Amino acid sequence: MDAPADAPVETAGVASSRGAATTDAPHIGDLELHAACDTSGGQALAQVTLPRGWHIEEAHLERSGSFDCPISVGVTAAGPMGERIMYRSELCYVDAGAVAKRIPTQTERKVFVHVEAACDELAQACAARLGARAEVVAEQPYPSSAAVDIERERARVKREAANDFAIEGFSMEPSDVVYECRMRRYRLTGAPVPTELAVAAKVEGYMFSIGGVAGSMGKGVAAGAEALLGAGLSSGLIGGVLGKRLRERQAAAAAGQGVAQEQPTGRGGCPDGASFELGAADLLQWRIRDSFCLVAPEGRLDEAASTALASMASTLRLNPAIAREASAQKQQMVLEQRQRTQMNIAQQQQQFAAWQQMHASQRAAFDSYQQAWFDRSDRQHAANMAASAANFSSAGVGTGTASYSDAIRGVNHYTRPDGTDVEVSVMADQAWVNGSGDVIGTRDGFEPGFGWTELPRQ
């Protein structure tokens, strides 16, 4: 924030009868320094400079137990003409890839959104409390000049990401960081009285790989998990709606890799309007930070935004004690997250090793079955060949073969009286032999006469 480092934090004892603001707040020109105290407990939560006539209406502290910042501070400031500014220090979320989704976190899971969408969500929630609907009419820079130094803020997010993991000698660099800030103005339709709305917010976060968190062994598991996921999708083992969505996501990611380098990437490596690309083993820790919702009667929004909102966005500082408590809880949550991540990686390693062992056993059983089948087939083939050879050399097969040969040559076989074989043309119906051993063939029942003997046909 842009407030002086030595500016005092007001204590609960100087709070006014309103419960959150002082009646004798210090003056800085036309501005007054106020302390935001917890309405229920009286603890000083923050200090902020507001224009004269504005006061702190309500302040509260939430301990949510989220991963990045377990404490969230809410402050509401009210103006003299019915204006109201509602501040929230942060809302924390996590977005995860296909494999990393299995890792438990204490953070609400939510798909990453850009700052415009975050502002729209906050605007609709604020409008719903008024029974209205918000419509965007304009877009402006974030009201704090320091917040719009994008490169400086991205470097801060990167340092905070590295510090989050600098626990017990553990260190890493985020694979990507994102920082965005914007203010959007809205028209409220359906409100009881004509009302205008402005929402300002920051969106920041960092992405890291589960393989990077767990070391080289974790990288291997993450790579193996991605390979198994791809194999399951390509082979059809992962079917149904889940398989369809994962395949669509893979196709979209593959198609976007070539296009992403050609698009402007002024948002933490993510093209304008595009969703943050996550690998199967990636986690994106992100948050909506320093959000302001300004509600004002029609015609009062511009003045309230340029004075009260700009001052509040630039000067609001959290109580250092609360910041230290949040930092300590954050470090504990990071340590627990690291331990859960390592346990999950070890479990994935065991599951992957068990899958490999099962696959090897199944492969060995299949190879044994296949070899036995080949052996049985070889034995059956040898038996069939032996039987075929025996049948081929038998009389039945020989007679058939000889008959086939006689038919090709056009002869019939007859037997002489001495038992020898003689061939006669198939043109003859009968064969005869005389005493000299001469053989003739006749047809149509012709008999050669005395001295000729008919031969039997084989």
pLDDT at 386 over 60: yes
Model pLDDT, residue 98:
72
pLDDT at 275 over 80: no
**Beta strand pairing call for 71-78 and 55-63:** antiparallel
What mean pLDDT comes out for the span 63-88? 83
For residue 152, the Cα-to-chain-centroid distance in whole angstroms is 30
Q: How confident is the model at residue 238 (pLDDT cuts 50, 70, 90)?
A: very low
Q: How many residues does the chain have?
A: 458
Phi and psi of 5, rounded to 5°? -65, -25
Where b means 16+ CB within 10 Å and e means fewer, 182-209 reads bbbbbbbeebeeebbbbbbbbbbbbbbb
Q: How confident is the model at residue 219 (pLDDT cuts 50, 70, 90)?
A: very low
What mean pLDDT comes out for the span 284-312? 93
Model pLDDT, residue 249:
54
89-114 confidence digits (pLDDT tens):
888 777 877 767 766 666 677 889 99
Token code pair at residue 250:
């893979």
Where b means 16+ CB within 10 Å and e means fewer, 100-135 reads beebebebeeeebbbbbebbbbbbeebbeebebebe
pTM above threshold 0.75: no
Model pLDDT, residue 260:
37
